[in-house]
C-alpha cells in the first residue's frame, strides 16, 4: 500500500511536472522528461532513516551504453525534508515539485541544442578536468555537433585521466575517438546507442533518428 507521504509527492509531481511533459517511471519517485537524445530526470529521493524526500534534478544523456539512469549533469538541489504530518508535508511536496519544475526548465533552456550542450560540457570539463564521464559526454556532444577538435580533446582527457585503461569508460572513449574522422559512422554509432538505451529504459520508440 502506498504511504501517505508517497501519495502526496506523487500528486504534487503529477500536477507540477506532468504539465511540462514529465512521465512517472512506474510507481517510483522518479519522473522523466524525454528530449529524444537526452532526458531530464527528477527524483524525490527517499531516506533510509526518515519519511520525507530529498530532491535531485539532472540531465541524463541517452547515448549511455548502460541500462540504467544516471545523474550526468546536475544532482541534489534540495536536502531532506522530513514528513511530520499530512498537512505539513503536502506543502513540502508542493514546494519540492515546483522547485523540480523550475530546475528542469533551466536544464531544458541550457541544453536546447547539441552545439549549446557541447559548449557547456566542454567548458565544464576544461574547468574541472575530471577525466571521467563528464569528459566522455562532452566528447560525444562535441563530436555529434561537428566539433571534432573539441571532441578529440575530451576523449584524450579520458585517456589521460584516472580511468583504468581497460575500464568501460576508457574503452568507450577510445572507440569513439577512432570514429571522429568518420562523421557518418560516429553519428550512426550514437544513434544505435540512443536507440538501445531508450529501449532499456522503456522509453517510446522513435519514428525518426533522434539526432
CB count in 10 Å sphere of residue 183: 13
Q: Are residues 96 and 11 in the same domain?
A: yes
Beta-bridged to residue 106, according to DSSP, are: none
Q: Are residues 105 and 9 in the same domain?
A: yes
Q: Are residues 119 and 181 in the same domain?
A: yes
What share of the chain in percent tops pLDDT 90? 89
Cβ distance 140 to 176 under 8 Å?
Answer: yes
Higher pLDDT, 163 or 175: 175
Tell me, what's the pLDDT at 34?
Answer: 98
Q: Quick: pLDDT tens for 5-42.
A: 899 999 999 999 999 999 999 999 999 999 999 999 99
End-to-end Cα, the chain, rounded Å: 41
If one counts the domains in the chain, the total is: 2
CB count in 10 Å sphere of residue 38: 25
DSSP one-letter string for 73-127: EEEEEEEEEE---HHHHHHHHHHHHHHHHHHHHHHHHHTSSHHHHHHHHHHHHHH
Say whether 44 sits in a helix, a strand or coil: coil
Q: Quick: pLDDT tens for 135-151.
A: 999 999 999 999 999 99
Residue-range definition of the domain harbouring residue 46: 4-110
Query: What does the mean pLDDT of the chain come to?
Result: 95
Domain boundary among 49, 76, 110: 110
**176: burial class by Cβ within 10 Å (0-12, 13-18, 19+)?**
buried
Amino acid at each position: 500500500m502506498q504511504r501517505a507521504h508517497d501519495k502526496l509527492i506523487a500528486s504534487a509531481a503529477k500536477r507540477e511536472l506532468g504539465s511540462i511533459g514529465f512521465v512517472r517511471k512506474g510507481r517510483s519517485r522518479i519522473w522523466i522528461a524525454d528530449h529524444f537524445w537526452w532526458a531530464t530526470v527528477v527524483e524525490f529521493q527517499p531516506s533510509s532513516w526518515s519519511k520525507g524526500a530529498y530532491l535531485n534534478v539532472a540531465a541524463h544523456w541517452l547515448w549511455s551504453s548502460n541500462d540504467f539512469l544516471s545523474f550526468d549533469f546536475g544532482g541534489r538541489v534540495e536536502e531532506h525534508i522530513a514528513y511530520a504530518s499530512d498537512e505539513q508535508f503536502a506543502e513540502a511536496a508542493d514546494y519540492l515539485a515546483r522547485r523540480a519544475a523550475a530546475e528542469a526548465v533551466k536544464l531544458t533552456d541550457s541544453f536546447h541544442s547539441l552545439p549549446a550542450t557541447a559548449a557547456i560540457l566542454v567548458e565544464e570539463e576544461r574547468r574541472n578536468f575530471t577525466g571521467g564521464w563528464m569528459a566522455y559526454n562532452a566528447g560525444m556532444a562535441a563530436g555529434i555537433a561537428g566539433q571534432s577538435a573539441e571532441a578529440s580533446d575530451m576523449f584524450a582527457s579520458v585517456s589521460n585521466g584516472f580511468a583504468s585503461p581497460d575500464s568501460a569508460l576508457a574503452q568507450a572513449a577510445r572507440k569513439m575517438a577512432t570514429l571522429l574522422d568518420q562523421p557518418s559512422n560516429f553519428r550512426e554509432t550514437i544513434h544505435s546507442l540512443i536507440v538501445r538505451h531508450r529501449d532499456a529504459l522503456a522509453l517510446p520508440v522513435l519514428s525518426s533518428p533522434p539526432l
